[in-house]
Amino acid sequence: MSLNVEDLRQVGEFSNHYLNNRRLIRAPKNPMDRCTIVSIFPVEILEYKITIQPGKFSIPPGTYENPSILVVGSSSWWREIDVDQPMLEIPNSSIQVADSIVKDYCNGMLGCDMGDLMPGLFFVLGELTVAEIKLRYKAKLDEVKAKQNNWYAILVKLADSLWARSNGNPLVIWDEMRLAARSLNMDDKPWLKDYNTIKMERCKACGNLNNPLYPVCPVCRAINPEHADAKNLKFA
């Protein structure tokens, strides 16, 4: 069973309430334990880790020319020893936290293989500024840009296939697919158009909703004789 953002928020609030009413043994924090997450993905990234504190992370949209960053430190989870004893803090290093954020977000993306096909997201050791990232990690930025473009190309191919198989149903096109096409300057894709104003109509043969711009029902393959292109159809 998957949890949405509201479910995660409620679980997090319950966890915080529970912890706030228990005596805790806190481990000392290492002020040097910092990592910087870098993103050239032009979409805001929100990651929730309900089992650790702090566990809410937000990375602003970024680009190759102007990457966005998020500096993270260590987070902790709590071990129950005994109901009458304080809970023991188990710290996770900033490397573990940053690695989890990057992998968990990217692994959930369609078409991502965590190799040559993935969003432009990575992390480096230490607390760095955007200027330092661009200066010291130029090769890494070039690498993740190439991987992101490879991933974009896969999304465009998937969108083309879904568009053809659904007979032009705009609901099958993912927002990231449109982003990918625009990023690769493929502005001629028919599924990039704004189809919010299209009113889906029911097929007179089977009753399923379909796009009135096309004369053939994608479900039952019935031809709409009222469509202007119906008389021009030829089948092998």
**Interval 141-155: pLDDT, tens:** 999 999 999 999 999
The dihedral region occupied by 168, where left means phi > 0, alpha psi between -120 and 50, and beta the remainder, is left
Closest by alpha carbon to 12, among 50, 48, 47, 46?
50
On whether the CB atoms of residues 217 and 224 are closer than 8 A, the answer is yes
CA distance 50 to 56: 8
CA distance 131 to 230: 59
The pLDDT tens digits of the residues spanning 165-181 come to: 887 888 889 999 999 99
The pLDDT tens digits of the residues spanning 45-80 come to: 999 998 888 899 999 999 999 999 999 999 998 887
CA distance 78 to 72: 19
The dihedral region occupied by 122, where left means phi > 0, alpha psi between -120 and 50, and beta the remainder, is beta
Instruction: Write phi, then psi, for 140 (nearest 5 degrees).
Output: -65, -40
Helix then strand then coil, % of the chain, to nearest 5: 35, 20, 45
- What angle do helix axes 175-183 and 138-165 make, rounded to 10 degrees? 120
Task: Using DSSP, state whether 39 is helix, strand or coil.
Answer: strand
All structural domains of the chain with their residue ranges: 5-137, 150-232
User: Does residue 26 surpass a pLDDT of 90?
Assistant: no
The pLDDT tens digits of the residues spanning 74-101 come to: 999 888 777 777 778 888 999 999 999 9
Burial-class residue 83 by CB neighbours within 10 Å (0-12, 13-18, 19+): exposed
Token digits of residue 104: 């968990």
On whether the CB atoms of residues 218 and 166 are closer than 8 A, the answer is yes
